[in-house]
Amino acid sequence: MITVVLLGKLADLAGAPALQLAAPLDWAGLKAALPAALAQAIDDPRNRVAVNGALLADKAALAAGAGDEIALLPPVSGG
Amino acid sequence: MAAHVPMRDIRLLDQMFLPGMLIGPFTQANKGLGGVCTFVGEVRLDQGVEALELTHYEPLTLSGMHDLADRAFARFELMGLLMVHRIGLMRPGEPIVCVSAAALHRRDAIDAVDFCMDHLKSAAWFWKREKRAGEWHWIEPRAQDAVDLARWHS
């Protein structure tokens, strides 16, 4: 399984702070497995993606396998 | 005399803290300082705001604060840097952030705190929501935060 962690308002769109999805996942596979509103939101360039704590420069290059953690990160609201 | 080892204390706290309990020992730990500058941010008593909640993402947030501290040490002549940020649920009036810098000269201490605060406010990995009339509302980034950050990019 792959853990998908949702931060900020993306957690509201998912209805949960984390989801478990079947491995493996690429960008298209991730979007297909998410609720439609969330899948649409994560295409917004302001929303960033990290895999195992490392930010992806190019979301479309996502390649996650079993045991990986994907984080979906909306713009920060600061401290 | 041995070279001074920079003192750094970077923390995320999930419980209420008293800034004085941090600032006193921090100042004492930097023997021979010429100046210490401290900023404490508190949850503002805005109309109708009952509570504030800060979410972080463990793999990014604290390491991002350490990167920020590295940049502050590289940019200013510092003896020590304290950077403490709350996460979790807070009430108006509670401290949310405390940054303190010790240096031989005041300008480095003052500017380092200003630099750290501008970056914490606009670029650190925190998501904030506030409760008004029993409902939670996410706080969006403000244009002013980007302006504040741009001051350091010249």
Question: What total of structural domains would you count in chain B?
Answer: 1
Using CA coordinates, name the residue in chain B closest to A69.
B59
- Tens of pLDDT, residue by residue over A10-21, are 999 999 999 999
Q: For each of the domains in chain A, give its residue range(s) and CATH number, in order of start.
A: 2-73 (3.10.20.30)
- Tens of pLDDT, residue by residue over A57-66, are 999 999 999 9
> Looking at the partner chain, which of B60, B97, B142 has a beta carbon nearest the beta carbon of A79?
B97
The sign one gets for the Cα dihedral A74, B151, B148, B27 is positive
Distance between A32 CA and the closest CA of chain B, angstroms: 24
Dihedral class, residue B138 (left if φ above 0, else alpha if ψ from -120 to 50, else beta): beta
- Per-residue pLDDT for A79 more than 80? no
Q: Which of residues 134-153 of B touch A (CB under 8 A)?
A: 138-142, 145
Predicted pLDDT at B1: 47
**Number of CB atoms found within 10 A of residue B121's CB:** 21
Write the single-letter amino acid at B61: T
> Looking at the partner chain, which of B57, B63, B126 has a beta carbon nearest the beta carbon of A79?
B126
- Tens of pLDDT, residue by residue over B1-29, are 455 677 999 999 999 999 999 999 999 99
- Tens of pLDDT, residue by residue over B24-42, are 999 999 999 999 999 999 9
Q: pTM for this one?
A: 0.92
Q: Which residues contact A56 (CB under 8 A, 6 or more apart)?
A: A48, A49, A50, A62
Using a CB-CB cut-off of 8 Å, the residues of chain B touching A75 are 140-141
Q: Secondary structure of chain A: what % helix, strand, coil (to 5)? A: 30, 30, 40
Look at residue B1 and tell me if it is in a domain: no
